[in-house]
């Protein structure tokens, strides 16, 4: 294809995806600090007025479920911040969905870990714009545009691929002819990285678009590529990774379903946490408890452990998920960093890269700024196209 053809591809891919990319860029900037903003918006849900010594996980679950027999706790965080409430994931019990009772209307409960008292509730990703639901609404807008599954996921995944393509083509179009030595090529290429002082408004707009794209190219490739992981993981990303390394099937998908009705567990979640720790690989033996859940349809407990400072300090991303039989305590499955393959580890890198948490606060700030730069590239790209379209008409 000629250079003119690549210019057309860059232009029309950009124009076609401009509005969606702008929405995704701005929401991504906000979501870089999702947890911090959620806590700031909802202090009554997150911050306890009178913290006390926490109940054991088993006792806390028992109190919450006794207070509302319609629900069961599906996931219990084991790493709350001191002085903070715990956000439980909950679901209606099977009997509650069978006609006589209405669905819960929420899937998250905020509880005091010392008493089990409920401080609030919300439905994650609901289309509501009040304070408790705002960050979930924003997250769903960023990931699916609030379109039904799987179409929203596929559309935003396709958007990530289009952004990746447009970014690479745009950078390639800035290259000078590869004639002469490296020093000569760099000398010709240097103006593309700069914004000319005292230039006309049209030239300033073009320079902002070109230089902004070059300076943030690596971030764009990283964010777009990891975006493909989130939205087209099973369809595209994991199959591509399997070309280079085995990928361990996740036990949530690979473990067989129990024959109905599922048996009650032979032991509680406190015992499950202790037993699961015994199955951790040697490098992970000092990991901290992260979260726990019971999967009755699989007949297993899912207990997760993480290294200290995971997703809070730079380059802390290791975790392990242990699946043990809820009758015998036998190991039924495991997935994680130290127990996984090279492909598994590469997949684990994707979330902290996309959110910036791979570098702690600095990485989050970098992702937030990158989103704003992408929004600027959308605006300047449109202005450049419009100026040239008007010039051709004259």
Note the pLDDT tens digit of each residue in 309-355. 999 999 999 999 999 999 999 999 999 999 999 999 999 999 999 99
- What digits encode the pLDDT tens for the residues 115-149? 999 999 999 999 999 999 999 999 999 999 999 99
Sheet of 319-325, strand order: 118-122, 108-111, 86-92, 71-77, 288-295, 300-306, 319-325, 331-336
SS (H, E, C) 301-369: EEEEEECCCCCCCCCCCCEEEEEEECCCCCEEEEEECCCCCHHHHHHHHHHHHHHCHHHHHHHHHHHHH
- What digits encode the pLDDT tens for the residues 60-85? 999 999 999 999 999 999 999 999 99
Q: CB under 8 Å to 93, separation ≥6 — which residues?
A: 69, 70, 71, 72
- What digits encode the pLDDT tens for the residues 21-65? 999 999 999 999 999 999 999 999 999 999 999 999 999 999 999
- What digits encode the pLDDT tens for the residues 242-282? 999 999 999 999 999 987 767 889 999 999 999 999 999 99
Instruction: Count the neighbouring beta carbons within 10 Å of the beta carbon of residue 16.
Output: 13
Structure tokens given for 211: 């230089």
Write the CA distances from 256 to 39, 93, 250, 270, integer angstroms.
38, 21, 12, 24
Q: What pLDDT does 180 receive?
A: 73
Domain locations in the chain?
3-37+140-176+190-245+383-393, 49-98+106-113+256-340
Q: What pLDDT does 55 receive?
A: 97
Q: Is the peptide bond before 261 cis (omega within 30 degrees of 0)?
A: yes
Q: Which of 257, 268, 321 is nearest to 295 (CA)?
A: 257
Q: What pLDDT does 96 receive?
A: 47
Q: Is the pLDDT of residue 179 over 90?
A: no
Q: H-type helices in the chain, by residue range?
A: 3-31, 34-41, 43-46, 57-67, 131-144, 151-173, 182-189, 201-215, 217-231, 238-242, 251-254, 269-277, 342-355, 360-393
CB 340 within 8 A of CB 248: yes
Supply the Cα-derived Rg of the chain in whole angstroms. Answer: 25
Q: Is the pLDDT of residue 285 over 60?
A: yes
User: Strand 71-77 and strand 288-295: pairing?
Assistant: antiparallel
Burial of 290 (0-12, 13-18, 19+ CB in 10 A): middle
Q: Is the pLDDT of residue 297 over 70?
A: yes
Mean pLDDT, to the nearest integer, of 223-239? 98
């Amino acid at each position: 294809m000629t250079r003119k053809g690549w210019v057309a591809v860059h232009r029309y891919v950009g124009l076609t995806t401009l509005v969606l990319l702008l929405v995704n860029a701005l929401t991504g900037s906000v979501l870089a600090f999702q947890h911090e903003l959620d806590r700031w918006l909802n202090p009554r849900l997150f911050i306890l007025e009178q913290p006390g010594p926490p109940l054991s996980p088993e006792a806390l679950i028992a109190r919450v479920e006794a207070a509302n027999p319609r629900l069961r706790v599906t996931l219990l965080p084991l790493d709350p911040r001191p002085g903070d409430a715990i956000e439980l994931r909950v679901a209606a019990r099977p009997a509650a969905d069978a006609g006589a009772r209405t669905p819960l209307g929420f899937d998250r409960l905020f509880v005091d870990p010392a008493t089990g008292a409920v401080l609030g509730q919300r439905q994650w990703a609901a289309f509501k714009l009040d304070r408790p639901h705002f960050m979930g609404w924003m997250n769903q807008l960023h990931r699916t545009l609030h379109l039904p599954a799987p179409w929203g996921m596929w559309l935003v995944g396709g958007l990530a691929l289009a952004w990746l393509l447009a970014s690479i083509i745009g950078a390639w179009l800035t290259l000078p002819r590869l004639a002469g030595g490296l020093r000569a090529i760099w000398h010709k290429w240097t103006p593309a990285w700069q914004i000319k002082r005292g230039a006309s408004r049209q030239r300033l707009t073009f320079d902002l678009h070109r230089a902004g794209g070059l300076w943030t190219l690596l971030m764009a490739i990283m964010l777009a590529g990891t975006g493909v992981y989130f939205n087209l993981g099973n369809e595209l990303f994991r199959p591509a990774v399997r070309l280079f390394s085995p990928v361990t099937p996740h036990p949530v998908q690979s473990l067989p379903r129990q024959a109905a009705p599922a048996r009650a567990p032979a032991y509680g979640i406190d015992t499950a946490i202790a037993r699961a720790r015994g199955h951790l690989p040697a490098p992970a033996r000092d990991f901290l408890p992260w979260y726990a859940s019971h999967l009755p349809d699989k007949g297993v407990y899912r207990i997760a452990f993480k290294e200290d400072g995971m997703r809070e300090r730079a380059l802390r991303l290791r975790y392990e998920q242990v699946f043990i039989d809820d009758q015998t305590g036998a190991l039924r499955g495991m997935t994680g960093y130290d127990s996984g393959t090279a492909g598994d580890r590469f997949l684990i890198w994707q979330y902290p890269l996309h959110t910036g948490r791979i570098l702690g606060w600095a990485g989050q700030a970098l992702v937030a700024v990158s989103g704003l730069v992408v929004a600027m590239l959308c605006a300047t790209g449109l202005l450049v196209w419009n100026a040239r379209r008007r010039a051709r008409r004259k």
